[in-house]
Protein backbone atom coordinates (compact mmCIF):
# COMPACT_ATOMS: atom_id res chain seq x y z
CA UNK A 1 0.00 0.00 0.00
CA UNK A 2 2.80 2.41 0.88
CA UNK A 3 4.51 1.80 -2.48
CA UNK A 4 1.25 2.56 -4.30
CA UNK A 5 0.88 5.84 -2.42
CA UNK A 6 4.48 6.81 -3.16
CA UNK A 7 3.93 6.12 -6.87
CA UNK A 8 0.77 8.28 -6.85
CA UNK A 9 2.59 11.16 -5.17
CA UNK A 10 5.51 11.00 -7.63
CA UNK A 11 3.03 10.97 -10.52
CA UNK A 12 1.17 13.94 -9.07
CA UNK A 13 4.23 16.14 -8.94
CA UNK A 14 5.56 14.93 -12.30
CA UNK A 15 2.21 15.83 -13.84
CA UNK A 16 2.10 19.11 -11.92
CA UNK A 17 5.34 20.20 -13.59
CA UNK A 18 3.37 20.44 -16.83
CA UNK A 19 0.52 22.39 -15.30
CA UNK A 20 0.39 24.81 -12.40
CA UNK A 21 0.52 23.75 -8.77
CA UNK A 22 -0.38 26.12 -5.95
CA UNK A 23 0.56 24.82 -2.50
CA UNK A 24 -0.13 26.09 1.01
CA UNK A 25 0.83 24.29 4.22
CA UNK A 26 0.23 27.26 6.55
CA UNK A 27 3.78 27.17 7.91
CA UNK A 28 4.03 30.94 7.97
CA UNK A 29 0.94 33.10 7.49
CA UNK A 30 -2.31 33.44 5.57
CA UNK A 31 -0.67 35.08 2.58
CA UNK A 32 -3.45 36.18 0.26
CA UNK A 33 -6.28 34.20 1.85
CA UNK A 34 -9.47 36.16 2.58
CA UNK A 35 -12.63 35.32 4.49
CA UNK A 36 -15.91 34.91 2.58
CA UNK A 37 -19.05 34.83 4.75
CA UNK A 38 -22.41 33.23 4.12
CA UNK A 39 -25.58 35.16 4.88
CA UNK A 40 -25.51 37.16 8.10
CA UNK A 41 -22.43 35.43 9.52
CA UNK A 42 -20.03 37.42 11.63
CA UNK A 43 -16.30 36.84 11.02
CA UNK A 44 -14.96 33.53 12.25
CA UNK A 45 -11.58 32.79 13.78
CA UNK A 46 -8.62 31.81 11.58
CA UNK A 47 -5.11 31.48 12.96
CA UNK A 48 -1.93 29.48 12.49
CA UNK A 49 -1.29 26.87 15.22
CA UNK A 50 1.64 24.46 14.91
CA UNK A 51 1.92 25.13 11.17
CA UNK A 52 -1.76 24.32 10.62
CA UNK A 53 -4.77 26.54 10.00
CA UNK A 54 -6.95 26.52 13.13
CA UNK A 55 -10.49 27.58 12.20
CA UNK A 56 -13.59 28.24 14.30
CA UNK A 57 -17.08 28.79 12.92
CA UNK A 58 -19.29 29.39 15.99
CA UNK A 59 -22.74 28.85 14.45
CA UNK A 60 -24.60 27.33 11.52
CA UNK A 61 -23.41 29.86 8.91
CA UNK A 62 -20.68 28.53 6.62
CA UNK A 63 -17.48 30.58 6.58
CA UNK A 64 -14.90 30.18 3.83
CA UNK A 65 -11.27 31.20 3.53
CA UNK A 66 -10.57 31.89 -0.14
CA UNK A 67 -7.56 32.41 -2.37
CA UNK A 68 -6.83 32.69 -6.05
CA UNK A 69 -7.64 34.62 -9.19
CA UNK A 70 -11.05 35.29 -10.65
CA UNK A 71 -9.79 34.03 -14.01
CA UNK A 72 -8.94 30.52 -12.79
CA UNK A 73 -11.10 28.04 -14.69
CA UNK A 74 -10.31 24.29 -14.75
CA UNK A 75 -8.54 22.94 -11.66
CA UNK A 76 -8.66 20.66 -8.65
CA UNK A 77 -8.39 21.77 -5.04
CA UNK A 78 -7.67 19.34 -2.22
CA UNK A 79 -6.78 19.69 1.45
CA UNK A 80 -6.47 17.79 4.72
CA UNK A 81 -8.92 18.58 7.52
CA UNK A 82 -9.20 17.44 11.13
CA UNK A 83 -12.47 18.29 12.92
CA UNK A 84 -11.83 18.97 16.60
CA UNK A 85 -15.12 20.07 18.16
CA UNK A 86 -18.68 20.05 16.84
CA UNK A 87 -21.35 21.23 19.31
CA UNK A 88 -24.21 20.70 16.84
CA UNK A 89 -25.04 20.13 13.17
CA UNK A 90 -22.28 21.52 10.94
CA UNK A 91 -20.25 20.93 7.81
CA UNK A 92 -16.80 21.02 6.26
CA UNK A 93 -16.85 22.75 2.86
CA UNK A 94 -14.66 22.97 -0.23
CA UNK A 95 -15.42 25.63 -2.85
CA UNK A 96 -14.52 26.59 -6.42
CA UNK A 97 -15.41 29.14 -9.08
CA UNK A 98 -15.92 31.89 -6.47
CA UNK A 99 -16.71 35.06 -8.39
CA UNK A 100 -18.22 38.09 -6.69
CA UNK A 101 -20.99 36.77 -4.45
CA UNK A 102 -21.31 33.51 -6.41
CA UNK A 103 -19.76 30.14 -5.72
CA UNK A 104 -19.94 26.43 -6.33
CA UNK A 105 -19.20 24.32 -3.28
CA UNK A 106 -19.39 20.78 -1.92
CA UNK A 107 -19.54 19.77 1.70
CA UNK A 108 -19.92 16.90 4.10
CA UNK A 109 -22.20 17.66 6.97
CA UNK A 110 -25.18 16.88 9.12
CA UNK A 111 -28.69 16.84 7.74
CA UNK A 112 -31.12 16.93 10.71
CA UNK A 113 -34.21 16.02 8.68
CA UNK A 114 -35.63 13.49 8.47
CA UNK A 115 -33.29 11.17 10.38
CA UNK A 116 -30.21 13.13 11.51
CA UNK A 117 -28.01 11.69 8.78
CA UNK A 118 -24.68 12.90 7.41
CA UNK A 119 -24.60 13.65 3.70
CA UNK A 120 -22.15 14.73 1.03
CA UNK A 121 -23.71 17.43 -1.13
CA UNK A 122 -22.92 20.09 -3.71
CA UNK A 123 -24.59 23.45 -4.24
CA UNK A 124 -24.32 26.64 -6.26
CA UNK A 125 -25.68 30.13 -5.94
CA UNK A 126 -25.28 33.47 -4.23
CA UNK A 127 -23.15 32.57 -1.20
CA UNK A 128 -23.95 35.82 0.60
CA UNK A 129 -27.70 35.30 0.12
CA UNK A 130 -28.06 31.51 0.44
CA UNK A 131 -31.85 31.21 0.16
CA UNK A 132 -32.77 29.89 -2.23
CA UNK A 133 -29.77 27.81 -3.24
CA UNK A 134 -29.49 25.33 -6.07
CA UNK A 135 -28.54 21.89 -4.70
CA UNK A 136 -27.57 19.58 -7.52
CA UNK A 137 -26.14 16.47 -5.88
CA UNK A 138 -26.25 14.70 -2.51
CA UNK A 139 -25.92 11.24 -0.96
CA UNK A 140 -25.53 9.78 2.54
CA UNK A 141 -21.93 9.51 3.71
CA UNK A 142 -20.25 8.56 7.00
CA UNK A 143 -19.24 11.62 9.05
CA UNK A 144 -15.65 12.73 9.29
CA UNK A 145 -13.99 11.40 12.42
CA UNK A 146 -13.26 13.91 15.17
CA UNK A 147 -9.54 14.42 15.84
CA UNK A 148 -8.64 12.38 12.75
CA UNK A 149 -7.26 13.72 9.47
CA UNK A 150 -9.43 13.38 6.37
CA UNK A 151 -9.01 14.68 2.82
CA UNK A 152 -11.48 16.56 0.62
CA UNK A 153 -10.97 17.12 -3.10
CA UNK A 154 -13.04 19.05 -5.65
CA UNK A 155 -12.43 19.13 -9.39
CA UNK A 156 -14.02 21.50 -11.89
CA UNK A 157 -13.51 21.19 -15.64
CA UNK A 158 -15.60 23.24 -18.03
CA UNK A 159 -19.20 22.66 -16.83
CA UNK A 160 -18.50 19.45 -14.89
CA UNK A 161 -17.77 18.87 -11.20
CA UNK A 162 -16.44 15.90 -9.21
CA UNK A 163 -16.11 15.52 -5.44
CA UNK A 164 -13.92 13.09 -3.47
CA UNK A 165 -13.68 12.32 0.25
CA UNK A 166 -10.65 10.39 1.51
CA UNK A 167 -9.78 9.34 -2.01
CA UNK A 168 -13.26 7.96 -2.75
CA UNK A 169 -15.26 9.51 -5.58
CA UNK A 170 -18.56 10.36 -3.86
CA UNK A 171 -20.35 12.77 -6.25
CA UNK A 172 -20.02 13.35 -9.98
CA UNK A 173 -19.59 13.84 -12.72
CA UNK A 174 -22.20 16.54 -12.18
CA UNK A 175 -23.02 19.19 -14.76
CA UNK A 176 -22.87 22.65 -13.23
CA UNK A 177 -26.03 24.77 -13.46
CA UNK A 178 -26.22 27.58 -15.97
CA UNK A 179 -28.48 30.60 -16.34
CA UNK A 180 -31.14 28.62 -18.18
CA UNK A 181 -31.17 26.00 -15.40
CA UNK A 182 -31.90 28.67 -12.81
CA UNK A 183 -34.64 30.23 -14.94
CA UNK A 184 -36.36 26.86 -15.47
CA UNK A 185 -36.19 26.13 -11.75
CA UNK A 186 -37.73 29.52 -10.98
CA UNK A 187 -40.58 28.89 -13.44
CA UNK A 188 -41.41 25.54 -11.79
CA UNK A 189 -41.28 27.01 -8.29
CA UNK A 190 -43.46 29.96 -9.25
CA UNK A 191 -46.05 27.70 -10.88
CA UNK A 192 -46.16 25.45 -7.81
CA UNK A 193 -46.74 28.39 -5.47
CA UNK A 194 -49.47 29.87 -7.69
CA UNK A 195 -51.28 26.53 -8.06
CA UNK A 196 -51.23 25.56 -4.40
CA UNK A 197 -51.82 29.02 -2.88
CA UNK A 198 -49.81 27.92 0.14
CA UNK A 199 -48.94 31.42 1.25
CA UNK A 200 -45.29 31.14 0.25
CA UNK A 201 -43.66 34.10 -1.41
CA UNK A 202 -41.97 33.43 -4.72
CA UNK A 203 -38.36 34.51 -4.62
CA UNK A 204 -36.29 34.24 -7.82
CA UNK A 205 -32.70 33.05 -7.81
CA UNK A 206 -31.47 36.65 -8.23
CA UNK A 207 -29.02 35.92 -11.03
CA UNK A 208 -27.42 39.34 -10.97
CA UNK A 209 -23.92 39.08 -12.47
CA UNK A 210 -24.15 35.33 -12.86
CA UNK A 211 -21.12 34.00 -14.80
CA UNK A 212 -22.27 30.38 -15.30
CA UNK A 213 -19.65 29.33 -12.73
CA UNK A 214 -16.87 28.90 -15.30
CA UNK A 215 -14.11 30.85 -13.52
CA UNK A 216 -13.21 31.96 -10.02
CA UNK A 217 -11.27 31.51 -6.80
CA UNK A 218 -11.13 28.51 -4.46
CA UNK A 219 -12.02 28.14 -0.82
CA UNK A 220 -12.12 25.93 2.26
CA UNK A 221 -14.37 26.31 5.24
CA UNK A 222 -16.73 25.06 7.91
CA UNK A 223 -19.83 25.73 9.95
CA UNK A 224 -20.65 25.16 13.63
CA UNK A 225 -17.37 23.54 14.55
CA UNK A 226 -13.65 23.87 15.18
CA UNK A 227 -11.19 22.22 12.78
CA UNK A 228 -7.61 22.22 11.54
CA UNK A 229 -6.72 22.52 7.84
CA UNK A 230 -3.41 21.73 6.15
CA UNK A 231 -1.70 20.71 2.91
CA UNK A 232 -3.80 22.64 0.39
CA UNK A 233 -2.91 21.79 -3.22
CA UNK A 234 -4.52 23.47 -6.26
CA UNK A 235 -3.58 22.05 -9.65
CA UNK A 236 -4.54 22.99 -13.20
CA UNK A 237 -3.57 24.72 -16.41
CA UNK A 238 -3.27 28.44 -15.75
CA UNK A 239 -2.66 27.95 -12.01
CA UNK A 240 0.56 29.75 -11.01
CA UNK A 241 3.37 27.77 -9.41
CA UNK A 242 2.83 28.87 -5.81
CA UNK A 243 2.97 32.57 -6.74
CA UNK A 244 4.46 33.69 -3.46
CA UNK A 245 2.86 31.21 -1.08
CA UNK A 246 4.85 29.64 1.68
CA UNK A 247 6.17 26.38 0.24
CA UNK A 248 7.25 24.78 -3.00
CA UNK A 249 6.03 21.51 -4.56
CA UNK A 250 9.39 19.98 -3.59
CA UNK A 251 8.83 20.88 0.03
CA UNK A 252 5.29 19.58 -0.19
CA UNK A 253 6.61 16.25 -1.46
CA UNK A 254 9.02 16.07 1.48
CA UNK A 255 6.11 16.70 3.87
CA UNK A 256 4.04 13.94 2.27
CA UNK A 257 7.02 11.57 2.45
CA UNK A 258 7.36 12.32 6.15
CA UNK A 259 3.68 11.55 6.67
CA UNK A 260 4.04 8.26 4.78
CA UNK A 261 6.89 7.16 7.03
CA UNK A 262 4.54 7.42 9.99
CA UNK A 263 2.06 4.96 8.45
Q: Higher model confidence: residue 13 or residue 158? A: 158
Same domain, 225 and 97: yes
Q: How far does Cα 180 stand from its chain's mean position?
A: 24
Same domain, 59 and 132: yes
Q: How many C-alpha atoms does 257 have within 13 Å on its Cβ side?
A: 9
Same domain, 68 and 186: no
Domain tally, the chain: 2
Same domain, 191 and 252: no
List, as one string, the DSSP characters of 154-174.
Answer: EEEETTEEEEEETTEEEEEEE
Chain segment 210-233, per-residue pLDDT in tens: 445 689 999 999 999 999 999 999
Same domain, 54 and 76: yes
Contact 103, 124 (CB under 8 A): yes
Same domain, 164 and 54: yes
Chain segment 24-50, per-residue pLDDT in tens: 989 876 778 999 999 899 999 999 999
User: Which domain does 186 fall in, by range?
Assistant: 178-205
Same domain, 54 and 183: no
Q: Which of 188, 205, 222 is the last residue of a domain?
A: 205
Chain segment 95-136, per-residue pLDDT in tens: 999 998 889 999 999 986 667 799 999 988 889 887 666 778
Range among 186-200, 218-232, 241-255 rated most confident? 218-232
Q: Higher model confidence: residue 262 or residue 98? A: 98
User: What rounded mean pLDDT belongs to the chain?
Assistant: 80
Amino acid sequence: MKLVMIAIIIFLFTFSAKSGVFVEDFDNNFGRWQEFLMGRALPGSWKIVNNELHAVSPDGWTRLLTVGDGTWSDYTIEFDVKPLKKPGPGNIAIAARISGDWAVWCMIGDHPFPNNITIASCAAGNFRDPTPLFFFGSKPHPPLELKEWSQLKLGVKEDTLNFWINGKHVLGPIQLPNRQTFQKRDAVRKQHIEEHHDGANFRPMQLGRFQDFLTGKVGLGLSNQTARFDNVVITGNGIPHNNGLSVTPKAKLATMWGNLKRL
